[in-house]
């Protein structure tokens, strides 16, 4: 069951749980990776789209020279509010914005960066065309997407566990959205349809996902993402049970103490 509205709804308690549980679990290693790639180009003007609660924004502010301007945007104001509350090492301009309709003039930035946001864009080519439009000639669009769910062990385990809890209508948000846009040929086609003439440069990066306990990882996925909305749409009273089922599955696979699993993503760079 697809639900475009809940698939992109990061509100209520989700921003807080996303920041405290999911960011250290899966996002921080890739934030370091993508900003290191961007910093090597020495951009003067950077736009971040789908900034979420600011894990990449904080890295940008800490690594890029003080003279580099940083504008961070997200569709969901509650996520930006959480990012602003956490803060950055130096001044950043925060803007609520839709990646499909960016409120910036043509050629405004030397780089557009997006961490794990492209999967959520309802029209990938349109979002990519907006990134291209706001790039100056010679600028770079740099983004990453999750690889197949089977290569991301915690997400795969949680999704499999919830199938058993809801056999007639399993909540497949993790497989369908975050891990549903991993085919490099499809990504290259969408970039071409967006007007990019160059060939994308891609690399696949594996890392480790670690949590103090299986329950922490289960809560991150079941409560800190729109998977929560999918669970509640089936049976709101089963939310706690879903966390417990996911906890048991993760503990059964990774142990009852601290847990450690593989995560994997593709990084894509393309020049204007």
The owner of tokens 């593989």 is 262
**In this predicted structure, what is the pLDDT of residue 6?**
52
Tokens of residue 197, six digits: 């003439």
> Is the pLDDT confidence value at 10 over 90?
no
Q: Which of 11-25, 120-134, 223-237 has the lowest mean pLDDT?
A: 11-25
Q: Maximum CA pair distance of the chain?
A: 55
How far, in whole angstroms, is CA 173 from its chain's centroid? 13
Residues 6+ apart with CB under 8 A from 266: 144, 145, 146, 147, 182, 184, 187, 202, 203, 204, 205
Residue 83's domain spans which residues? 4-271
Q: How many CB atoms lie within 10 A of CB 211?
A: 23
Q: Which residue has the tokens 């199938």?
A: 163
Structure-token pair, residue 246:
């996911």
Contact 47/111 with Cβ under 8 angstroms?
yes
pLDDT grade for 15, boundaries at 50, 70 and 90: confident
- Per-residue pLDDT of 156-203, as tens digits, reads 999 999 999 999 999 999 999 999 999 999 999 999 999 999 999 999
Would you say 225 and 14 are in contact if contact means Cβ atoms under 8 Å apart? Answer: yes
Give the mean pLDDT of 32-47.
Answer: 97
> Any idea of the CA torsion for 264, 21, 79, 196, to the nearest 10 degrees?
-10
At 42-51, the pLDDT tens digits run 999 999 999 9
Count of domains for the chain: 1
CATH code, domain carrying 48: 3.40.50.150
State pTM to two decimals.
0.94
User: CA-to-CA distance for 25 and 16, rounded, in angstroms?
Assistant: 14
């Amino acid at each position: 069951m697809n639900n475009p509205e809940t698939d992109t709804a990061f509100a209520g308690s989700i921003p807080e749980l996303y920041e405290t549980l999911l960011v250290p679990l899966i996002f921080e290693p890739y934030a370091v990776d993508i900003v290191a790639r961007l910093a090597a180009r020495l951009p003067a003007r950077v736009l971040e789209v789908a900034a979420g609660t600011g894990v990449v924004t904080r890295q940008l502010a800490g690594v890029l020279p003080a003279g580099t301007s940083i504008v961070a945007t997200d569709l969901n104001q509650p996520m930006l509010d959480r990012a602003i509350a956490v803060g950055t090492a130096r001044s950043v301009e925060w803007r609520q914005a839709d990646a499909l309709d960016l409120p910036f003039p043509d050629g405004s930035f030397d780089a557009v960066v997006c961490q794990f946001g492209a999967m959520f864009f309802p029209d990938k080519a349109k979002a990519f065309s907006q990134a291209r439009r706001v790039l100056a000639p010679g600028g770079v669009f740099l983004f990453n997407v999750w690889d197949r769910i089977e290569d991301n062990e915690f997400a795969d385990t949680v999704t499999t566990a919830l199938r058993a809890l809801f056999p007639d209508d399993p909540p497949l948000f993790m497989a369908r959205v975050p891990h549903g846009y991993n085919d490099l040929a499809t990504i290259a086609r969408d970039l071409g349809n967006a007007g990019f003439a160059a060939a994308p440069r891609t690399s696949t990066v594996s890392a480790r996902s670690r949590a103090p306990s299986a329950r922490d990882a289960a809560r991150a996925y079941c409560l800190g993402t729109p998977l929560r909305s999918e669970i509640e749409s089936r049976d709101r009273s089963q939310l706690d049970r879903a966390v417990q089922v996911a906890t048991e599955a993760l503990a059964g696979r990774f142990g009852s103490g601290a847990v450690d699993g593989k995560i994997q993503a593709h990084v894509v760079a393309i020049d204007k």
